[in-house]
């Protein structure tokens, strides 16, 4: 009996040490990437000042933009431009949105602590990282398997625990609904009814609505089961949102 107790104690201690090592490995990986921000501190400072001058006042959004290492979400040849306030190309002819656009859309969501947020279009994973950094419960769907897989690896390595899905953004995630907030990160002609139905009463959806060349940033608030209110917040240009799965 005593031998069994000792053996159980040894196994328990081993598991605790192993778990600690696993956690440390994740934290170490995150620290390495995060501390690289100091290499770009002048560029980050200039970006934050530009966002402030453009009217982004939510300190939580500014803090997240300042903290999340945008250079980790772009290719090696573009790292020197990572903190420019401009979109940059990623795989599958997609882009990582300019920081101002990310900050503006995030601000429009009027996030509350712990909000359950659905993002349509994971892309590089940068927007999901911003939402995670702000303490949101993030669900994100991507139609390109390559982008989904790369974003998952990167977010995991940075310690951001978003729920990522490979699928058709037009369908959303009905099995995970309802959501407090929904964010669409690609140009769409009209928001599908199934996405509106996945919002909680009182929830908000932010989307660039228009044609492939110009869209109006629109906030849709769900007032009741079949009642919605829309407000428009300026013109933007996004890559188009496409139905179905990518290659």
Largest alpha-carbon pair distance within the chain?
A: 75
Tell me if 187 sits within 8 A of 211, measured CB to CB.
yes
Instruction: Give whole-number Cα distances, 34 to 1, 21, 67, 71, 166, in Å.
Output: 49, 20, 7, 10, 27
Pairing of strands 179-184, 163-166: unpaired
Q: How far apart are CA 92 and CA 230, in angstroms?
A: 32
| 3 state SS of 55 | coil
What DSSP letter does each residue of 178-194 carry, written as one string? -EEEEEE-SBBSS--HH
Catalytic residues: 97
Q: How far apart are CA 209 and CA 114, in angstroms?
A: 27
């Amino acid at each position: 009996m005593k031998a069994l107790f000792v053996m159980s104690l040894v196994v328990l201690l081993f598991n605790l040490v192993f778990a600690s090592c696993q956690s440390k490995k994740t934290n170490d990986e995150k620290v390495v990437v995060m501390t690289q921000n100091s290499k770009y501190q002048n560029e980050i400072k200039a970006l934050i000042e530009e966002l402030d001058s453009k009217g982004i006042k939510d300190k939580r959004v500014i803090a997240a933009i300042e903290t999340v290492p945008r250079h980790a979400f772009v290719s090696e040849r573009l790292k020197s431009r990572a903190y420019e306030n401009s979109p940059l190309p990623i795989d599958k002819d997609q882009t990582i949105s300019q920081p101002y656009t990310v900050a503006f859309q995030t601000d429009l969501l009027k996030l509350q602590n712990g909000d359950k947020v659905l993002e349509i279009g994971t892309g590089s994973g940068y927007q999901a990282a911003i939402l995670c950094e702000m303490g949101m419960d993030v669900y994100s769907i991507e139609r390109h398997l390559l982008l989904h897989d790369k974003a998952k690896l990167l977010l995991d390595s940075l310690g951001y625990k978003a729920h990522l899905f490979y699928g058709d953004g037009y369908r959303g995630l009905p099995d995970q609904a309802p959501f407090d907030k929904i964010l669409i990160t690609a140009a769409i002609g009209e928001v599908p009814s199934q996405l509106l139905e996945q919002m909680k009463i009182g929830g908000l959806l932010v989307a660039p609505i228009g044609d492939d060349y110009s869209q109006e940033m629109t906030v849709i608030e769900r007032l009741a089961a079949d009642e919605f209110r829309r407000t428009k917040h300026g013109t933007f240009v996004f890559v188009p949102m496409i139905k179905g799965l990518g290659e």
